[in-house]
Amino acid sequence: MKSGFVALAGKPNVGKSSLVNAIVGRKVLIVSDKPQTTRNRINVIHTTNEYQIIFVDTPGIHKPLYRLGEYMVKAAVTALKGVDLILTVVDAKEGIRKPEKFVFDYVNQSGTPTIGVVNKVDLVDKKIVESLVDKMRSELKNCIEIVETSAIKGEGIKELLDLIVENIPEGPQFYPEDMITDRPFSFMASEIIREKIFQYTYEEVPHSVAVIVEEIKERENGVLYIRAIIYVDRDSQKGIIIGHKGSMIKKIGQDARKELEFLTNQKIFLDLHVKVKRHWRDKDFIILNEIGMKDDIKD
């Protein structure tokens, strides 16, 4: 059997989470049109009879503004070391500029072999894609191959998967075959709630939110009760999350509940609360710890 850890490196919003979902053929990771959706390292496990690939999805590498951002970059950089392979992802529409080179530097420094991925090829001309492929090939050390993909249309995904399997070593099956992620259900549930908040809110609001699932309990009638707290930075944000006469929190709750019911195949009672914690992104270690931001940090 072949097995290996494969990290994804790239700027926020290039489609790293979408690529992993496309490869494993189901939505495991949350996705949004706003940068910095992924906050922490999550392993997604893809097992067949012949191989087990453990995708280490990382927060996008960017120049951090807040302590939370610093943690995100540290978590991403830590993930690049000690894996078997890195998928270095760029967005075809964005091209290769300073922020992409910032990412390439980290990948090159890690010394780990890499497959370059030019994603979102559905958005640009073939000529542009070709020039990005050439550029990537010359700037990435230890580059095995460059693949052109559209995670949304499923293009290039099979080719990418085949290349990954080719380039991971013979090894043991690290996780049971039915395991899809290394995070507990409570974490996945909080991520799904956070995804809906990212979908419906704008500007600073989505980035000011932390979701913590405080209780999960199966009731006698078979309903799964989930209580989650949505932490925000300011009173005004609390108002936005709750919305006019509670319309926003209702929308967030309904969408999250539907997805959780689909995931668990169980009826769910989702109990959402909103609390204000000033400056949690900078100094509230209880929240940072709860959302797993300190897992990879040693300082």
Ligand X SMILES: Nc1nc2c(ncn2[C@@H]2O[C@H](COP(=O)(O)OP(=O)(O)OP(=O)(O)O)[C@@H](O)[C@H]2O)c(=O)[nH]1
Q: Which residue is nearest to ligand X (CB)?
A: 15
How far apart, in whole angstroms, are the C-alpha atoms of residue 295 and residue 71? 9
Closest to 119 in 3D by CA, of 110, 132, 108, 106: 132
Contact between 202 and ligand X per CB under 6 A: no
Closest to 85 in 3D by CA, of 206, 27, 168: 168
Q: 219 burial class (0-12, 13-18, 19+ CB within 10 angstroms)?
A: exposed
Stretch that binds ligand X, among 34-42, 131-139, 166-174, 243-251 (CB under 6 A): 34-42
| Residue from 37, 40, 88, 190 binding ligand X (CB under 6 A) | 37
Contact between 43 and ligand X per CB under 6 A: no
Contact between 119 and ligand X per CB under 6 A: yes
| Residue from 12, 116, 206, 253 binding ligand X (CB under 6 A) | 12
Contact between 17 and ligand X per CB under 6 A: yes
Contact between 18 and ligand X per CB under 6 A: yes
Output the DSSP codes for 224-241. EEEEEEEEESSHHHHHHH
Output the DSSP codes for 155-178. BTHHHHHHHHHHTS-B----S-TT
Residue 171 or 182: the one with the smaller Cβ distance to ligand X is 182
Contact between 16 and ligand X per CB under 6 A: yes
Residue 3 or 110: the one with the smaller Cβ distance to ligand X is 110
Contact between 32 and ligand X per CB under 6 A: yes
CA distances from 204 to 61, 179, 209, 240 (A): 19, 35, 9, 11
Residues 148-177 that bind ligand X (CB under 6 A): 150-152
Residue 13 or 110: the one with the smaller Cβ distance to ligand X is 13
How far apart, in whole angstroms, are the C-alpha atoms of residue 293 and residue 299? 12
Binding site, by residue number, is 10-17, 57-61, 119-122
Binding site for GTP, by residue number, is 10-17, 57-61, 119-122
Contacts to ligand X by CB under 6 A: 10, 12-18, 31-33, 35-38, 59-60, 119-120, 122-123, 150-152
